[in-house]
Structures are given as structure tokens and as C-alpha cells.
Chain A
Amino acid sequence: MYGIVNRAIRDLVLSQAGPEHWSQICDQAGLIETDFSDTARYDDELSFELVAAASAVLGLTSEEILIRFGRHWILYTGKDGWGPLLDMAGDDLRSTVAGLDALHSRVQASMPGSRMPSFTSIDRGDGALEVEYRSDREGLIPMVQGLFEGLAERFGETWHVEHLGPRPDRTAEVFVLTPSTVVASEGEWVGAV
């Protein structure tokens, strides 16, 4: 992953737990360099080790860490680097989520070798959005949930984010994003196969 992801983990730990915890996490993850270049590529394994170490040191589950990380990414670190691009992706959560794939396809040109996830959003008709998330990386579903929550906060909107699970054909993970004015039909998956 690109360094901006690792820096986001670092920023999250620094802002929520302080430099001593970050030092502990680096020790635990066996890191020598404790800061990252946003635009340099690092081994995926390093990011996962950081998450595991942060989980151990902060006493949070990996899932909790990833959700927080997703929110932090949108609201702070990502905003710092990719914020202007997010601005171009859309004016609200709905249009931004719809434009995520376009955004990622553009970003790919600047970040050769990156493995961007894919998001397909389907308007359910009742105001809720059904989003299919595809990635060749495993274990980042809680982070995606955090990203959606962060996006809602970024636009000052209130959305309920729910991970429904994998599509029946297991080609994507399905989220339902329900604005506060829409009563979610919990657990109901209406996406087309």
C-alpha cells in the first residue's frame, strides 16, 4: 500500500493515544522508520502488522481499529492529501460514493502498481444506497465501513452504514447506506445478482 495509508494509521494513533503508544506499536511491528512518505509504496504486510500492533497496544479489536482508521482517513489524513480529489468526486455522500470508481480509475494513473478497490452503488429507490465493494485485499471491510461513516461526517450528513455481508455469488461485499430520513429495512438485501 502507499505510505499515506500507513501515515494515516500513525496519525490515528498519535491523535488518539499519543507518541508513547506509537513508539510501542513501532517496536512491536519491528519498524525502524516511524514516519512514511505518502507517495512511496510499502509492503501490504507492514500495514497489517501496524494494525495488529495498534490493536494490541491500544486494547482495541482489529475491527474497531480499522473502522476508526477509515473515518480518520476521510476526515484527516486523506483529506490532507486526496481531499481536493474527493471534492471532485462529488458534492455529497451519494454522489461521492457513485464517483469513487471514477476517482480510483484516475488515481491509478498516478500510483502505478496500486490495487484500487471498486465500488458500485445502486440506488434502492427508497433513498438508501446499496454499495458493492470489491477488493483483492482481505480483511479491510471494517475500514470501508469507517470510510463511509467518515464521508457522511465530511458532508455533514447522517447515514446509517450497515455491512450486509457478501453477495450470494461472493464476488462483492454489500453495504447498505441509509440516510437518517429513511427507515432501513434491516438485513434486507435487494441488490441484483
Chain B
Amino acid sequence: MNGLEPFRLDASARGLIGHLFPFHLVLDVRCDQKVVNAGAALTRWLGCELVGTNASDHFQITRPTGVEWVKEQILLHQHDVVFLTSVADGKQLRGQFTPLANDQLLYVGSPVVGALDSFADLGLSFSDFSPHDATADIVVLTQFSSMQVRDMERKNKELGDAIAARDIFSQRALTDPLSGLVNRRGFWEGWAELSGRDSAAPLLVYLDMDNFKAINDDYGHLVGDDVLRALSSRLAAMVRGDDLAARLGGDEFAVVLTEVEHEKAPARVEELIERLAQPVDTADGRIEISLSAGIAWAQKDRALDQLLRDADTAMYQGRARGTGRITWFDDEMGVDRERRRLLTNDLRVALSLGQLDVAYQPIVLMDSGEVSAFEALARWKHPYLGAIGPDTFVELAERADLIADLDFAVLAQAMTKLAEWRREKPRLQMHANLSGLSISEDLPSRISTLLDYLAIPPDALVLEITESRSITRNQLALVGELAAAGFGLHLDDFGTGFSSMSHLQALPLDGLKVDRSFIARIRESEKDRQLVSATISMARSLELDVVAEGVEDAETESILVDLGCRLAQGYFYSRPVEELAVPQLFTEGISQRSLDQSSS
């Protein structure tokens, strides 16, 4: 550069310089650096006319520092970056001086654009910059960077929102909306957290309301919900520290008590139950609460579901002996539960293999001793354990959801025999038990199909519905279908259930069976006799058949006849017999057998 000849700036060269460098200055060093030429963009940018004025009127040389508007000083820096700063408003140019012929200096520069400069502040447009000048690119890059920052902020916000939404969702997913307690899933997660800590083995209290269904029935579901909420808030107030309280569903609650010493545990649990079971005041009045509780200690090798089963087993075993009990799980219960589990499995197998038998107990017309019908009774002879009582296996079937299969298997087997026996006794009927749990959508059609196949009219079958079972609205409609199909419907064990009268009103019944507990006492108890008498009178007025079950002697029969009862069943006439013995009953007759039995 040192060897360059000073450039002579004639008119055409001035045009060229102006075109290529819109931010240039040409100064005459002989006249105090008077501006003899200036780029159009520079003039516009500064907003004042430059030509004819001194450069020092407009600019200071701010870099290199200490340089004055003196030719010799300036030329010392002709190879350096030179900043000119506007005296008026601080606008800066970055450029370079070069000497021209005729004592002139050329300054070629461009506006200094910083990252923080706004476009509005610059007061420039792209057309002010020559295409080779990358200064304008800085403006674009700055804008692009700010867009990237904004993108990042938006993404961060989205991420934050998503995390917050997930947390809310998660919170909702783990919380029971009615009670505000954690739900089953939340309980599981809370337990997992607890298990990870090195603390004393906690105590699991499983709680179930004894009278919740009755509260719902008597006061309605809204009040039932109020009761659940009241219980939940009491529970929430009583847990402390790491304790966990959950509503597992319906009226089932679970509480994990941590930091409980063994010897103090019973008192702690009793206090908990006592405070929980206080009456609840509702808009409909004060409601008494009864809670059954099953308790189990956590053990290291015991998973939560096992622990819950232990507590649940204890609760059910306690409740079997009466409501409102606190029952602690012990090993014996575990053995019993295991026995029941195995027996349930065997029952499932027996049902699938058709290994259940049916015994038949006659229902007789007391005046003639004629067999009017049989009741089909399920019998199970276990291959290793021998005969299992119906009370045991029916209860197992109900708890294992096998009762519908059991009821239908017995019904099908009995109706097949009835088809055979009706060839000899065409008016013979068959009574089959039907648990409320067996009443399903497809039951009416299944029975109809079976009877059609066997060519048995529907009125040959009488379904005995156990009245202690609660029947839902949907099941009630299905019972209506059964009645409409022509099957007989009797209410079993009349007098022992909670809603005998309401069942009489709600169900399309043809008859009822007075429970054996009343019949057994009518000889000694005037009160029972009056109860049975009233039942028979009521049934007659409703045009219902009455069957007295559990008749075991002639005196009872005589009383029943006097009370106007026509049909009876019991050991006095015959024990339940195997199917092979049934024809013998037809030939020998019931009266003769009963006389024989009573004399023996």
C-alpha cells in the first residue's frame, strides 16, 4: 500500500466512488479538511448538508484515539480502522482514509451497527448500502438472532406448560375427585415411595363401611357422597407425616400408618376407627356410621397387593362374625384364604368338567301327598375332600364370579331329567335356585333355548330367587323378561332378607317359600305361627303360591294345613335324593314314605 500513487479524483471517478461507497467523504486537506464530496447515503443518514463544511464540524476521530483532523496525523493511520463519530448525535462510521492527489483525502466507511441497535434507530434502508457492504447483514443477523431467542423462549414456555399440564394430569390421575384423597393408583405410588425409605414396617388398615348401601338406599346417592366426603376429611385430618390415606373405590378406604410401635398399634387403630365412625350430620339428618376394619402389618417380603389382600381377608372374616369389628390378620386367616383359593380353583375345574351333581327334594301337595315338583339342589363331591357343603361352595362361587355357571349347570341338568320324568308325570315342575348374581342379559334366552330343545313348557320351571340378594334395576327388568317368558318365579327364604316386602312389590312373582327358620318354630312359638299365618294370608290375597320348607314332622304339617298352606318340602317327606331314586318316589308315593320315616 505504501507504494500506491495517490489517486486522482476527476468527475467520473467521483461518480464511481459515490456509486460504490455511499458512505464516503472527500476532504481537502489544504482547507481544514473541507468536505468536497460526500456519499448520498451518508448525507441522508446525518440529515445535513456536508459539502462545503469542515469535517471537524461534524465528526470527531474517535479511533485511533488522540488523532486530530491534521493531514499528517491522519495519514499515519491510513492502514488502520478509523472511526468517525458524529458530533451531533453520536452516529459512527467505521472506515479507512487514503490520500488522493491534489491534497485530498478519501474516507470510505460504513455505519457502525451494533447488536443492540434497532432498525428504527438506524434510519437506514437496504438501498443505502452498496451490495458488497456486509454491514446490512449484521442487521439481519441481529434480527435473526432475536427470532431464535424468541423461538427458544416460546419452546421453553411450551415445555413448561406441557410439564405443568402433565403435573396437573398426574395429580388428577392419582386423586379421587369425590374425596380428595389419593385413589388406588395414587395409593400404589405412595406405597412405592414409602417402601423406598428405611423406616419401620408400616401398618395397613383396610376400611369398609357396613351400612353404605343402606345409606344410599335410604337417603339417596348425594347424601351417600356427603357421608363419604365427611369420612374422607376425617381420615385426611388424622393421618400424619408419611401416613397414607386413600379411597380405593366405593366405600373402601385404606390407611397406611407409619411410625407405629407394635404395642401401641391396637390403641392407635381403635382411636382411628372410633373417630371415623362418629355420626355424620347431613342436610337430611344425623347418620350413624359403621365401619369394619381389617389390619395387616407390612412385611419386607410382602407386596402391597398381598398386604391389601391380607387386610381385606381380615376385614371379611371379622364382618362374618358381625359388623363394626376391627380384625387383625393372622397366619390362620392366610391358611384359610389359601384353602378357599384352592377350593375355588377346584370348583372351577369341576364346573368346566360337569362334575357337580344334582339332588332332588320333592315339593308335595300336603292334602294328597302327591309330588308336585322337585327342587334341584347342587351337590359337589370333591375327589379328595369328599362332599363339600353347598353353603361353602355356593359362597365360593359367588365370590369367584362362578355362580351364574353353577346355577345354569344345575338348571340344565335338572331340566333334562324333568323332561324324562314328565313322560310319567306330565304336570311335574322343577324348582331351580337363581342367585341375584346370575341374572344376566343372556339368561332368559339361554333358558328358553334349553327348554325349547327339551320340549318342556316354560311353566314347568320355577326359578327360586334368593331374596337376601340385592337386585339392581337392570336385573329387575331381566326378571320381568323371565316372567314374561312364562317361567314361574318364587321368592326363596321369605322372611329372612332385608326387603321382603319390597321384593313382593317389585318382582313379578308367582309364589314364595317361607324360610325354614319360621317353620321349624311354629309348633312351639305362637309368634312364629302368627307370622307364618300372616304370610300365608298375604300370599293368598296376592294370589301367590306358598311353599313351606323345612317341614320335618306331621304336627308341623298339620298346623300348616290348618293355616291354609298347600305345598311343603322337608325331611318329613323326603331328603334330597339322587336322580336314580326319583322314580321310586313316584311308585312308592310320598305319604307312605313319610309315614314310614315318621314311624322309624
A residues neighboring B (CB under 8 Å)? 3-4, 35, 37-40, 81-82, 84-85, 87-91, 95, 98-99, 102-103, 105-107, 109-111
Contact = CB atoms under 8 A, between A and B. Distances in A.
Contacts of A111: 144
Given A95-B127, A103-B126, A85 B151 contact: no
Nearest to B127: A99
Given A106-B136, A110-B140, A99 B147 contact: no
B119 A85 contact: yes
Interface residues on B, range: 20 to 34
B125 A82 contact: no
Given A37-B155, A109-B140, A99 B126 contact: yes
Nearest to A103: B126
Interface of B: 118-120, 122, 124-127, 131, 134, 136-137, 139-141, 143-144, 147-148, 150-151, 154-155, 158
A105 B127 contact: no
Nearest to B152: A37
Contacts of A37: 151, 154-155
A87 B119 contact: yes
A37 B152 CA distance: 8
B125 A110 contact: no
B131 to A, nearest CB: 7
B126 A40 contact: no
B126 A110 contact: no
B139 A88 contact: yes
Contacts of A102: 126-127, 131
B125 A109 contact: no
A88 B125 contact: yes
Contacts of B137: 106, 109-110
A83 to B, nearest CB: 9
A111 B119 CA distance: 19
Given A35-B158, A89-B126, A106-B140, A84 B148 contact: no
Given A85-B119, A102-B131, A109-B137, A38 B126 contact: no
Contacts of B124: 88
Nearest to B145: A110
A interface, over-half SS? helix
- Sorted nearest first, the 7 A-B pairs with minimum C-beta distance are A110-B144, A84-B119, A102-B126, A37-B151, A106-B140, A39-B148, A109-B137
Given A39-B147, A84-B118, A84-B119, 4 more contacts: A84-B120, A88-B119, A102-B131, A111-B144
A85 B150 CA distance: 16
12 contacts: A39-B147, A40-B151, A88-B136, A89-B125, A99-B126, A102-B126, A103-B126, A106-B137, A106-B139, A109-B137, A109-B140, A109-B141
B340 to A, nearest CB: 51
Given A102-B126, A109-B137, A85 B143 contact: yes
Contact of B143 (A3, A82, A98, A105): A82
B144 A39 contact: yes
Contacts of B136: 88, 106
Contacts of B126: 88-89, 99, 102-103, 106
Given A89-B125, A95-B127, A109-B137, A84 B143 contact: yes
Nearest to A100: B126
Given A89-B125, A99-B127, A38 B151 contact: yes
A99 B119 contact: no
Q: Which of B122, B144, B155 has the most CB of A within 10 A?
A: B144
A81 B147 CA distance: 6
Contacts of A84: 118-120, 143
A90 B125 CA distance: 7
B120 A107 contact: no
A111 B143 CA distance: 11
A106 B143 CA distance: 11
A38 B147 contact: yes
Nearest to B151: A37
Q: Which of A40, A81, A103, A106 has the most CB of B within 10 A?
A: A106
Contacts of A91: 125
Contacts of A105: 131
A110 B141 contact: yes
A163 B547 CA distance: 98
Contacts of A98: 127
Nearest to B128: A88
A39 B155 CA distance: 12
B147 A107 contact: no
Contacts of A85: 119, 139-140, 143
A39 B150 CA distance: 9
A111 B145 CA distance: 11
A89 B136 CA distance: 11
A102 B141 CA distance: 15
A115 B513 CA distance: 91
Given A84-B120, A105-B131, A109-B141, A38 B125 contact: no
B341 to A, nearest CB: 47
B549 to A, nearest CB: 65
A98 to B, nearest CB: 8
B47 to A, nearest CB: 16
A28 to B, nearest CB: 22
A121 to B, nearest CB: 12
Contacts of B147: 4, 38-39, 81
Contacts of B119: 84-85, 87-88
B140 A107 contact: yes
Contacts of A88: 119, 122, 124-126, 136, 139
Nearest to A98: B127
A40 B147 CA distance: 10
B160 to A, nearest CB: 14
Nearest to A109: B137
Given A84-B119, A84-B120, A106-B140, A39 B151 contact: yes
